[in-house]
Structure formats: structure tokens, C-alpha cells
Amino acid sequence: MTPEQHTTAHRCLDAADGGTMTFPQIVGALIEAGFDGYLVDLRAAHHTYYNSAGEGLTLPSHPSTVTVAVTFNQSAVQAAIREAQTLAPGYTYRGFCDKVRQAGCAGYLASFTGRRVLYFGRTGETHVEHFPK
């Protein structure tokens, strides 16, 4: 992992948390730095960024008092995603994470090469969200 990749991953995580970059901007910055995806573990509160060489960099993310629901509510996850995509009034990344936790999402895997995000629940249910064309 290069120093630039470390810096970019930190910058993108801070930007998501602070609302200073959108998801497409973050994806673009990570791709430009040589990443091909990342994994967000909402239970352990960390993000792992993977470069094209297969190396991972794990960074702590904001903690939450909201626990991941046992039941995966796909429609509630999709509603939270739509709010994020449209930057609905009052949208924050922390709020998004709490909404999907309440909807039973334990984490998600963003694949830049696959152009999709896979959201998963505690018992293996999934929702796949494809990147816009």
C-alpha cells in the first residue's frame, strides 16, 4: 500500500463522514489512487480499502449506538440508498449508516471493478445496487 493510497483512504473516509464529498466523488478518488473496492463492517465500525494488488487497509469508522437489526429489510435499505443518491435534505453518511443498521444491514462491499455495492444482513440476505451507467 502506497503512502498516497493511505492518504486517499483517510481523506475519503473523513469526507464521507463530514459530508464534503459525494459517493461518486469518493469512488473516483479511490479508483484514481489504485483501489478496486472497499468493505464497510457496520458491526465492528471499520472500513477496509483494497488496492488492485489485493492489499487491504483497515480504518476505524464512526461508532454508533444503533445495533444491526436481526431481520434484513431490503426495502428500508433501498430507501436509505435512494436518500443518499439524491442527497435528500438532511442526509448524512452517519445517518445513512444508522438507517441501514436499523434495516438489518451488517455491512456492504463496494466493488469498483464490478460497478456495484452488495449490502448484506446478519443471516446472509443481500441487496445488490448497481452503479449508474
Question: How do the pLDDT tens digits run along the chain, 133 residues long?
Answer: 999 999 999 999 999 999 999 989 999 999 999 999 999 999 999 999 999 999 999 999 988 999 999 999 999 999 999 999 998 999 999 999 999 999 999 999 999 999 999 999 999 999 999 998 7
CA distance 49 to 44: 15
72 contacts: CB under 8 Å, gap ≥ 6: 103, 104, 105, 120, 121, 122, 123, 125, 127
pTM over 0.85: yes
Q: Provide the sign of the torsion angle of the four alpha carbons 80, 43, 39, 10, taken in this order.
A: positive
DSSP track, 29-49: HHHHTTEEEEEEETTTTEEEE
Domain 3-130 sits in CATH 3.20.20.70: no
